[in-house]
Structure 1
Amino acid sequence: MEELRIVMLGKQGAGKSSSGNTLLDQNLFHTAAHTDRVTQTCSAQTSTIGQEKITVVDTPGWPDSSSETEIKQEIMKCIDMCSPGPHVFLLVLPIGRFTDEEIKTIIDIMTEFGPEANKHMLLLFTRGDDLEEKSIEDYLKNTQEDLKNILEMCSGYHVFNNRDKNKNIQSQVSSILQKINRMVENNAKKCYTKTMYQNKDQRRGQEAGRRKEENLALSKYATKHKNTETKMGKYSEMNEKREKQSQIREVRKQIDKEERDTEIVMPMNKISSNDSKGAHRQDYNRVEHISVDRRDIEMMLELQRTNSDKLKKLSGRVAGVEMCLQEIKNMLGERLNQEKKTNKPQNLLLLADQV
């Protein structure tokens, strides 16, 4: 390979410039230990490492807000600065800063460059000294799921310790260059070009159109489904109404049967069976106007049971009255016998007959 072109991407303070200096083995990019954005514009530096020529493009920190279009436009210049395009994007992420904001930045970068860029991306973890004795593999086993998903989409990862006191910089650089070269060899398209970036916008527009068509189709289906549900709901309501009306007819039949079973034949000067029928006729009228509601049907059944109980109590009272009248008749009969013995007038006899 004549030249290996590398672009550094990441949030402000992630360690892009320091990592670029490590790769070039020279302090060509300005760094500072503060939170202000040091790199304002894209800058490219070239160096020869071993027998390989390396060009590194440092970029400003990726903006937190999508409204900062000027910064994004400046970052997009990195593609032109290493024409025909970078072989690899190094997504710089510090160890220990796997916050939602950091993860969102990586996702925004990958979204901006499109899925074609995923084949040309490596995650570069900085501050490797914070791992101490733990390996990066063990460290990533317990990391959050979003970061694991990002690792699956990218073509690999590497760890840098830009503050290596043992001066193992060369072994770090040699290791990452081997990973980059293997990745480039495996890619059918050796580098990410400006055409890929432009096609990304076209595909995004096509995807938006496809989603719009799908949403329209889903909307039509939902409307049709809703109309079907409405018809089925009306049909179900009619069936339920028929079922309740059938229940009312069954209740009426049961009332008629109980009326016939509980009719009591009494003398005309006492309570007649027509009176009990009249009470039940009131129940009929009440049923005619009752709501077709299950609770009302239960109330009607309860009323029927109550009327039946009243009839039984009333029958008991009539029996008691008959017993009283019989006792009175017996008393009058005894008195009549006494009157006959004493030859008194027969008016008591007439009274007894009336009783």
Structure 2
Amino acid sequence: VGRTGKLKTTSDCMSEYLTEITSDLRLVLLGNIGCGKTSSGDTILGQVSPVSSVTTRSCTLRQGYSDGRSVTLVEAPRWYWNEQTPDEVQAQVFSCVALSSPGPHAFLLCVPVDQSAKTELQAVSALEKVFGPESVQRHTLVLFTYADRLKASGKAENVEEYIASERSDLLKLVEKCGDKFHILEKGEGWREKKTVAELLEKVEQMVKAAGGQCYSCPAFQEAEDKVRQRQLQLVRERRSNRPETIQAGYGGQFHSERQLLPLVEEDISLDDG
């Protein structure tokens, strides 16, 4: 968002093309119920997620390839809106941290462009409290969803102009996230592939601006240490009891905390007690 109050264009946000591609982009999808998190993940990965009639309170992990990149998506529950106990919130935050270990390259805050952004502004504040201000300023991108629905309603043909001229709440949200945003356009064939390619290039631009590193903070470091400790314990237990069950990855070794998490998510927590 420039000083004139207008949103920066795609070319402004992507001033140079990255020649070095991150080998594995780890993205955490955040947003309220009905914000388009799952459908956005479908669009990014080019695959349809399993249909579920149950609203999950756990993080879900999806992996695939998109625009020539390996992409890991962690869809987080809305712990920043729900009235939950501290223990429930802590468990959900830990699950998010462990699945995106050693840290996400970007938090994608999914925001329906045709709805009020009041709760999303609350979510940004919660994100800052849990992961620190830098997680928002340098590693969060506002992903505007349902642009097709807005156009179909006849309210706007140009989504960027609509946001800049009529939606001060959305402008404020983008400003809080360091002027980083993307409008996810749904469509057939090349149009949808183009919007996904632009999104991933923006994420890589964010990574480059952050020194080429994924986001990390004490919460991520603590969770990674705990998962590694549990990993060693599980390997020892299964090696002594059922050696054939520990064959995970090459040479019987776990290659990432994400491979281990399904085995431990029910009995591990951030509470040392």
Using structure 2 for the length normalisation, give the TM-score. Answer: 0.62
Render the CA deviation track for 1:265-294: whole Å, top value 9, x for unaligned: xxxxxxxxxxxxxxxxxxxxxxxxxxxxxx
Amino acid at match of 1:20: G
Contact 2:207 2:214 in 1 (8 A): yes
Contact 1:47 1:55 in 2 (8 A): yes
Counting only pairs closer than 5 Å after superposition, residues 174-193 of structure 1 correspond to structure 2 as 174-188=197-211, 190-193=213-216
Structure with greater proportional helix content: 1
Render the CA deviation track for 1:262-321: whole Å, top value 9, x for unaligned: xxxxxxxxxxxxxxxxxxxxxxxxxxxxxxxxxxxxxxxxxxxxxxxxxxxxxxxxxxxx
Partner of 2:67: 50
Distance of 1:134 and 1:58 partners within structure 2: 30
Counting only pairs closer than 5 Å after superposition, residues 208-287 of structure 1 correspond to structure 2 as none
Structure of higher CA gyration radius: 1
- Relative to structure 1, the CA distance from residue 30 to residue 161 in structure 2 (aligned partners, 3 Å threshold; closer, same or farther) is farther
Partner of 2:100: 82
Matched, 1:23 2:23: no
Aligned residue among 54, 63, 78 for 1:61? 78
Shift of 1:12: 1.5
Distance of 1:105 and 1:143 partners within structure 2: 22
Distance of 1:47 and 1:181 partners within structure 2: 17
- Relative to structure 1, the CA distance from residue 65 to residue 56 in structure 2 (aligned partners, 3 Å threshold; closer, same or farther) is closer
Shift of 1:71: 4.2
Shift of 1:52: 1.1
Partner of 1:108: 126
The alignment partner of 2:160 has SS state of helix
Shift of 1:183: 1.0
Residue correspondences, number: 194
Contact 1:3 1:52 in 2 (8 A): yes
Distance of 2:170 and 2:103 partners within structure 1: 27
Partner of 2:176: 153
Aligned residue among 125, 129, 140 for 2:148? 129
Shift of 1:81: 0.9
Unaligned runs of 5+ in 1: 200-355
Shift of 1:198: 7.5
Distance of 2:23 and 2:71 partners within structure 1: 9
Contact 1:60 1:75 in 2 (8 A): no
Contact 2:107 2:140 in 1 (8 A): yes
Contact 2:98 2:220 in 1 (8 A): no
Matched, 1:96 2:102: no
The alignment partner of 1:123 has SS state of strand
Distance of 1:115 and 1:46 partners within structure 2: 28
- Relative to structure 1, the CA distance from residue 91 to residue 98 in structure 2 (aligned partners, 3 Å threshold; closer, same or farther) is same
- Relative to structure 1, the CA distance from residue 149 to residue 95 in structure 2 (aligned partners, 3 Å threshold; closer, same or farther) is closer
- Relative to structure 1, the CA distance from residue 188 to residue 180 in structure 2 (aligned partners, 3 Å threshold; closer, same or farther) is same
Unaligned runs of 5+ in 2: 1-21, 223-273
Partner of 1:195: 218
Shift of 1:167: 6.5
Distance of 2:182 and 2:215 partners within structure 1: 20
The alignment partner of 2:141 has SS state of strand
Shift of 1:74: 0.9
Distance of 2:50 and 2:216 partners within structure 1: 24
- Relative to structure 1, the CA distance from residue 66 to residue 193 in structure 2 (aligned partners, 3 Å threshold; closer, same or farther) is farther
The alignment partner of 2:62 has SS state of strand
The alignment partner of 2:143 has SS state of strand
How many percent identity over aligned positions? 30
Amino acid at match of 2:204: N
Partner of 2:264: none
Contact 1:79 1:194 in 2 (8 A): no
Using structure 1 for the length normalisation, give the TM-score. Answer: 0.49
Contact 2:117 2:170 in 1 (8 A): no
Render the CA deviation track for 1:104-135: whole Å, top value 9, x for unaligned: 23433344322020200000011011332522
